[in-house]
Every structure is written in structure tokens, then in C-alpha cells.
Chain A
Amino acid sequence: MNTEKFLQIFQDAQLSGDKIILKSGLHDALKFLREQSTFCILKDISAIDRSEKGIELIYHLYSQIDNEDVLISICVKDEAESVIDLFKSAIADENEIYDMFGIHFSGNERLKRLYMPQDWEGFPLRKDYVEKDSRLAWNDNEDNA
């Protein structure tokens, strides 16, 4: 893909290492990549808790025609744009991120607790997650001691 062309269209995007960091307009960027370019597989979405910067979402796109990968990164707080209208596979990824990081994707109504029980409090992969839930086995032991 022509990275420069992409950077021209999305002014606030900048290249850092091998990933493109966006400040906003995630949906538009992905729409551009899917429809104007050939990136049609969203391999996965990774989320990383960058504490003070919020949560960084990395969209890993792949173009089967050009055999090329591109990483789109964006930092969000608690709300992000959903891309399920572009990539159906995002249903799975966004649900997992909601479950583990508590990010709400606007536009995705299927979000629910996935791995954790329905009544679980907190989001385990966040760095500020306190493991003091009484339902956890080791906490129970501490109480007993």
C-alpha cells in the first residue's frame, strides 16, 4: 500500500515504526483501506492498556492481493467506533476486547460478557484491575488465613 497516500488523506495520522497511529477517524480510515485499497482481511484487533494514554487498539489488516500487512493504531478511553459493518470478524474481536478491557464499541449491539461470567465486575486485562474479587480462589484463602 502506498503509505504516503494514506498519510496525505488522513492528516492527523503518523507513521511510527511499522504501524500507523491515528488520533481519530478510525472508521473512515478502515473504510478507506477496505474499499479504496485491497485490505479486506482484518486479522485481529489487539488491545493494550497504556495506562495514562488510555487503551491502544491495534487493527491488523491484511491484503491478500498484495500480500501485505498494515497496522492501524488508535488510543481510546472507554468508547470506540465499531467496524463490524466493514469486517464481520470484528464481532468476535470487539466482544473479546469489551470483555477484557471494558471498551464500549458504539454501533456494536452484540457486546456481552464472553469469557467472564455474566455478573463479573471489572475488566481483567486492564492494568488497574484489582484482584480482590471474593470469588477468586486465592482471595478466599487469604480471608481464611
Chain B
Amino acid sequence: MTMKTTLKLNLGPQHPSTHGVLRLILELTGEQITSCEPDVGYLHRGMEKMAEKMSYIQYLPTVDRIDYLAGFFYSELYIRTIEKALNIEIPEKAKKIRALLLELNRISSHLLWIGAFLMDLGAISPFFYAFREREMILRYFEKLTGQRMMYNYFVFGGVRHDIDFLEDIEEILNILPEKIKDYERIITDNPIFLTRTKNKGVLTQKTAINYAITGVNLRASGVNYDIRKSDYLYEEIDFNPVIMEDGDCWARYKARILEIKESLKIVKEVLEYLKKSEKLKQNLIKPIGIILPEGEYYSEIEAPRGLASCYIVSDGKENPYRLKWRTGSYYSVNLLRELLVGNYLNDAIAIAGSLDIILPEVDK
């Protein structure tokens, strides 16, 4: 008679490949995972509670911190909601500037993911290569906004100041496609990489929809859902959402590479517009003492890690009555419960890595 016992393994919160402080309570038979229970909250900062105590402008600098790798997205989302509530139309050029910065931010976020994912798979070099390219983008952000990560550049009614240093973006546009080709050469065709990602962690359409997975992870499973298509910032911009069919780790990797290329296209297009455009004229509203009319306001954005939304309930006072964030990563963590079961430990790391979970976004 054989006796089957399981091993309970605490993966994290201090583990090199949980990308922060995620804790997974795994139950293993041998090296096979029989159950997985994510435990989050080690990075909880009470973003929603904080909002209720702060005025709208006070809260603005903190929203970048929800996702420190894609700060522009959350400040744009927050500002967008308030502009919606106050019925503010932002000038055409400000829209284009926002779209440009968002796409650059998306590229930098995806680049970091590529590095971190390959690190999870045990390859060290791509991490440094990806960081080298990401550095160019961050340098540009620093030049423009004075910050590398928490930009605080978008304000109610436009942007803080006019865009500048366009030649830097041109340089990025020249260098990055070459480098992406290099990545493809060192990563995509690598047989070890293929065996480790092909058919691993297959996320079917049905499961993805059931778990409310959005963003690249959903599109890699073959669902055409990109909120940018109906986004007012991208109205006149021509681009195609990246759709992959397989839904495995490889598809998620490839989808991100293709999405970088797509974003570069958008950046190029917007850059042409910005070069021709005149100086930015905008009527910024006085941010101190903003009061939203009573009501409920909702808006959403396609963040690099899935659909993000902001829901503000105002009771006509200086601070929001209730503010709710929806973040993509939180649902990806929830998905780990199902996706990891039946896989071996070293595949599990790759699968969890491929979902692009970032913990500040999960914990809010």
C-alpha cells in the first residue's frame, strides 16, 4: 500500500520570484501542485480609505503609486473620472500628449515584464537588456516630468506643462525596434524557452472570462477586448489590438512583444502630430477646492496589466464619499488558484510570472 502525503509550501512573501510580496500557500505532491491559495495584503496602503479623507487634489499624487511601473495610467484614470464629472474638455494636443506618454509607459512596463519573466525562467541576460531599453524611456520621463516613476504630470484639464524633448522620443523609436529584434533572436527562438512556455499554463477563453481576466492576458487567449478602441484618447489613432489564440505562456509573451511594437506605432503616429502642432494652450481649472457634483462617476482605461477602472461616488463635499479602484492584477492573482493546480513547481513560477502580477496593484 502506498501512502500519499502532501507537502505544504509557503511560497513567499519573501521569495525572489513573486515580484514583491505575494504569498502563495501551495500544497505539493512531489513537485506537483495540488492546491494553491494566494494570500495578499502585505503591501496594503489603504488607497480607498485614504481617498475618503483627502481632497481631490491631495489624492492626486498618491494614485501613481497604485502601479509604480505604470504610473501614468492611474493618474490618467483618476483625472479622467474627475474631468468626466466636471464636464471638462481637454485640448486636442493635451490628448495626444497623454496618449503618447501612456504608450511609452506601456512599453516600459512590458519591457520590465519581459526581463522579469525571463529571470523567472532562469535566464539572466534578457533582464539587463530589457532594463537598458527601459532606462531610455525612464530618462525621457525624468527629463519631461522630473520623476522616473511617480510622474504626477497630468492635471485636471490637461497636462502640467507642454511636451518637450521630442528628439529623445525619436531616438527611442530608432533604437527600440532593433533591440526588440535582438530579444526575439535570443528569446523567442530558443528551444529551451519554447519547451518551458509552449502549452504551459493554458488559459482558455472560458476560464479567462469567468475569472474576469483582462488586458494582454485575455487577448492572448483569443478574446478581442481592448478598451483602447473606445477610448477618447485614441480616437483618431490607428492601431490593431494584438490577439493571440493559444492562451499559453508563450502566447502571453508573444502578445506583449507584439504589443510593444503596436505601441511604438502609436507613438510614431502621435509624434508626427506633435511635431507639427503649435504650442499647447490649455485652460487648467483651479485644482484647490474642487467639488464634484453629487453623483456617481465611472471610467476605465486599458492599463498594461489589464482593465483598470475608477469609480467615484460624490456627495457634493470636498472629498469623495467613496472611491473604488479596479485593478487587473488582483484578478490575475485570483486566477492562480485554478491555473497553477496540476503543474509542477518550476512551471508554476513561469506561469505566475507570465500573468504579469504586480503587488502594489493587487494590494491597493
Contact = CB atoms under 8 A, between A and B. Distances in A.
Interface residues of B, number: 33
Contacts of A41: 209, 212
B317 to A, nearest CB: 13
A20 B337 CA distance: 32
Interface residues of A, number: 27
Contacts of A60: 309
Given A44-B309, A48-B313, A115-B40, A64 B331 contact: no
Contact of A48 (B309, B322, B337): B322
A49 B209 contact: no
A108 B48 CA distance: 24
A87 B212 contact: yes
Contact of B311 (A46, A49, A67, A91): A46
Given A43-B309, A89-B210, A92-B330, A64 B324 contact: no
Contacts of A89: 210-212, 331, 334
A58 B48 CA distance: 16
B330 to A, nearest CB: 6
Contacts of B122: none
A100 interface: yes
Contacts of B296: 17
Interface in B170-222: 207, 209-212, 214
A115 B41 contact: yes
A77 interface: no
B322 A88 contact: no
B49 A87 contact: no
A114 B307 contact: no
A42 interface: yes
B324 A46 contact: yes
Interface string B16-53: 00000000000000000000000011001010110010
Nearest to B300: A43
A61 B330 CA distance: 17
B314 to A, nearest CB: 11
Contacts of B41: 113-116
A48 B321 contact: yes
B225 interface: yes
Given A92-B331, A115-B41, A64 B209 contact: yes
Interface in A87-145: 87-89, 91-92, 96, 100, 113-116, 124-125
A124 B209 contact: no
Question: Which of A64, A87, A89, A113 counts the most chain B CB atoms within 10 A?
Answer: A89
A114 B46 CA distance: 12
Nearest to B38: A92
A115 B44 contact: yes
B270 interface: no
B338 interface: yes
Contact of A114 (B40, B48, B209, B322): B40
A102 B41 CA distance: 17
A116 B322 CA distance: 19
B333 interface: yes
A43 B326 contact: yes
Given A43-B212, A48-B321, A87-B212, A100 B48 contact: yes
B49 A125 contact: yes
B321 A115 contact: no
B278 to A, nearest CB: 36
B363 interface: yes
A76 interface: no
A91 B49 contact: no
Interface string B351-364: 00000000000011
A80 interface: no
B114 interface: no
B99 interface: no
Nearest to A91: B334
Nearest to B225: A64
B70 interface: no
A40 interface: yes
A124 B46 CA distance: 9
The 3 closest A-B pairs by CB, nearest first: A89-B212, A115-B44, A92-B334
Interface of A: 17, 40-44, 46-49, 58, 60, 64, 67, 87-89, 91-92, 96, 100, 113-116, 124-125
24 contacts: A41-B209, A43-B212, A43-B326, A48-B313, A60-B309, A64-B225, A88-B210, A88-B211, A88-B338, A89-B210, A89-B212, A89-B331, A91-B334, A92-B331, A92-B333, A92-B334, A96-B330, A115-B41, A115-B44, A115-B46, A115-B363, A115-B364, A125-B49, A125-B322
Given A46-B324, A114-B40, 4 more contacts: A43-B214, A89-B331, A92-B334, A115-B363
